[in-house]
Chains A and B, each alone.
Chain A
Amino acid sequence: MLVKTNRQLSILTIGVTLVSLAGCSGGSDYPDGYKSRFVYSDRTDSLMGEAQNGIGDLPGVKKLVDDRFGDPQKLNAWLKLPIDFGGVTGELAETPDASVAVEELTLSFDGEVTKDGDKPLLLQFVTGKAAPSIVFVSNWLAEGGKASLTAAMDVPPAAGDQVVVNGGGVLAHGRGLYMRHCSHCHGTSGDGKGPTAEYLVPRPRDYRHGVFKFTSTDAQSKVSRDDLYRILRNGVPGTYMPSFVPMLQEDELVAVIEYVRFLAMRGEFERKLVNELASDYSEAALQSRKESGESRKDIVEELKEFLTDDMQDSLAFVSDDLAESWDTANSEDALIVPDCSRIEDSIASRRIGRELYLSKTLNCADCHGISAKGNGPQTTIYEKNPITSELYPDPGLHDVWDNVNQPRNLTQGIYRGGRRPVDLFRRIHAGIKGSRMPSFKKVLKHEEIWHIVNYVLSVPFNAEPGHAPVAVPDEPAATAAL
């Protein structure tokens, strides 16, 4: 018998407890505790060291990104971006008397500020000398806008300084939810490289291109908040993206969407900065420039000049473009609205659609195949990687994420971006962003698109539609329409 006496029993019990406790703490792997962090893209890492890390006081790409976006523990709200960071913005109405310690401020806010019991308000200065300091408001009188601070300010602010109260709440909320529910596939940085990602086909989206496939917006536009909401609500059939309703509440969905947009903008900002530098200052460029006789010292000198003189313009250009494109995606102008209602589904309409599908100008069959099984001749070619100019190892079309981009098998009746007629209309009108499905808005009239939609929706219910001519039954079988 294992335990002969009570004495042995007690020792055994303690031993087991100790072993399991030691197993729980397991802190040796992470001496500072585990901290999640944003990683930089491979392209950033392919720049020469000085371009990544800066020269002296001149910031490199990494610092420029970090200053604007922070890290997961401490997110930065870059107010230039069209992100709802939460909180109420306002400004300092009066310059406080700097001769005494500043313990009271007069503020005016754009919205209503309410204080929740004894919890102090968090007030951050966004502009002015006092920025980016954070102070706590112990007492708030909405009438007159008087805020008493918990401690005197180090740097006295001036009238007109922009402030935000309780800012960043939405983003912080979204971060918590994202880390719990999304990051295991999409990764902490939104790079689509979470721990479970490698088991999935297709791969989870890498947000850092700022490109999302299934949108309701125009071909050149970004994804709108509504599009992301629809993805979270409905999931993406045919992929591993599930629906997150009813698991997440309405306010949680909104927070996750803002955080995903934040990650996408971070990635895109980093990417675009690298674009400004990659042609001249990547490791590869450095190598070839050295071979053509330039010395490393000269190149670093040139980079220093670039960072001093041109970087400001580049930054302004990149960030203006970023802010504007993400903002306009939510506007009504970006939304694709057909200029005519869906052409009523009929055999005749499907025939027109099929003719367009097979026509030389559209050439849908080149990828999707004559029988629409997603097996067109393009799926067997070897493509060149547009960045490295080397052949991809696998045959088939590739998307901007360098994954094989299988044209949809239309006979399966699985529509990743939604099965409503308008969803298919938008896929054809704007294409599928990031993929090889192009926009057909320039070559097709809206009613022609509807004919193709009618044909595509009928495909799963006809055997081999591409081979035999579409049979004309007495009564047309209805597709999605009643």
Chain B
Amino acid sequence: MKKFWALFFFFWPAVAIWCCLIAPANGWWFPGKAMSPLGERIDGLFYLILGIVIVVFIGTQFAIGYVLWKGATKPEDESATFSHGSHSLELIWTIVPSFVLVFIALYQMDVWAEFRVQSYYPEQTQEDGPKMEVTARQFEWRIRYPSAGEQLKNQPQPGDLYAVNEIHVPTGRPVKFNLRTDDVQHAFFAPQLRVKQDAVAGLIIPVWFEIPVAGEYDLVCAELCGWGHYKMRATIVAEPQAQVDEYLARLQGEQNFDGVVEDADK
């Protein structure tokens, strides 16, 4: 039985090594390719931390297994030795992890700043200003664009364009927008872009992302906001600027529709 427990603790790091070897090829657990440059850097951090955790996990598990095995194979009649511990060992396992943590804390700083600290947002977004306002609401996303050539204001303006659950953004440039909520707390989560930001009542939170490749990306709510939480699905459509302008012009046309359709034959 003693040997069983020693083997038991050897078993798990062996499983962990096996998983690490085959997981990338099978795409297990990993969130797919990030579709934004910042997302790739966030993934870089994720994999770095994952690597550190794997090394630590396997190391400590093998150490436990080794100690157990040593105890299990000792002759029964040999009495145990009593020790007050090892001062140098304690120093090592305190200082080494703290160096690792400080390293992670410093290493991630620029990515975090670019993601969250406004003054570190890409220059382009500072120049452009917010492109639209996204308002989370139980249970949908309402989008307000400024009219062509205008800057977005926090108060609705005459000529603003409104859409629901569909965001059109230009590809290949950082896009900033204002995130708000009408009611409870929601979270703007675009998994492929690695963007997740809570929408907090009373705050206007600027968020940015950049999508190099045209396509449709998911937007979901990542903060349990009520019984209809699952309904908060929307689409982020990334397309060249010209098509975004076309879309906004179409939206303008729909919004000004007065119900009178001119007969083409007339």
Contacts and interface: CB of A to CB of B under 8 A. Distances in A.
Interface of A: 181, 184, 196, 233-235, 237, 240, 242-247, 336-338, 340-342, 413, 419-422, 425-426, 450, 457-458, 460-461, 477-482
Given A237-B142, A240-B138, 8 more contacts: A247-B233, A337-B261, A420-B257, A421-B256, A421-B259, A450-B258, A458-B158, A480-B158
B156 A243 contact: no
Q: Interface size class for chain B?
A: 20 to 34
Contacts of A196: 227
Given A420-B257, A425-B259, A235 B158 contact: no
A240 B232 CA distance: 13
A419 B235 CA distance: 22
A420 B158 contact: no
Given A245-B165, A338-B260, A235 B140 contact: yes
A136 to B, nearest CB: 37
B233 A481 contact: no
A193 B156 CA distance: 35
A196 B231 CA distance: 15
Interface centre among A233, A243, A245 (most CB of B within 10 A): A243
A426 B258 CA distance: 10
Contacts of A184: 227
Given A242-B228, A246-B165, A246-B233, A481 B260 contact: no
A234 B164 contact: yes
26 contacts: A181-B231, A233-B164, A235-B140, A242-B140, A242-B228, A242-B231, A242-B232, A243-B164, A246-B234, A247-B233, A337-B259, A337-B261, A338-B258, A338-B259, A338-B260, A341-B258, A341-B260, A342-B256, A342-B258, A420-B254, A421-B257, A421-B258, A422-B258, A458-B158, A460-B156, A480-B159
B158 A337 contact: no
B159 A479 contact: yes
Nearest to B258: A342
A336 B235 CA distance: 32
Contacts of A340: 260
Contacts of B157: 461
Contacts, number: 82
A426 B259 contact: yes
Contacts of B260: 337-338, 340-342
Looking at chain B's contact residues, the main secondary structure is: loop
Contacts of B259: 336-338, 421-422, 425-426
Given A242-B140, A421-B257, A477 B231 contact: no
Given A237-B142, A246-B233, A461-B158, A480 B255 contact: yes
Interface of B: 137-140, 142, 147-148, 156-159, 162, 164-166, 227-228, 231-235, 252, 254-261
Contacts of B252: 482
A482 B164 contact: no
Interface centre among A235, A340, A460 (most CB of B within 10 A): A235
B256 A420 contact: yes
A240 B140 CA distance: 10
A477 B153 CA distance: 15
Contacts of B255: 419-420, 480
Given A244-B231, A246-B233, A413 B164 contact: no
Contacts of B162: 419
Given A237-B142, A421-B256, A421-B258, A243 B165 contact: yes
A426 B259 CA distance: 9
Interface centre among B148, B232, B257 (most CB of A within 10 A): B257
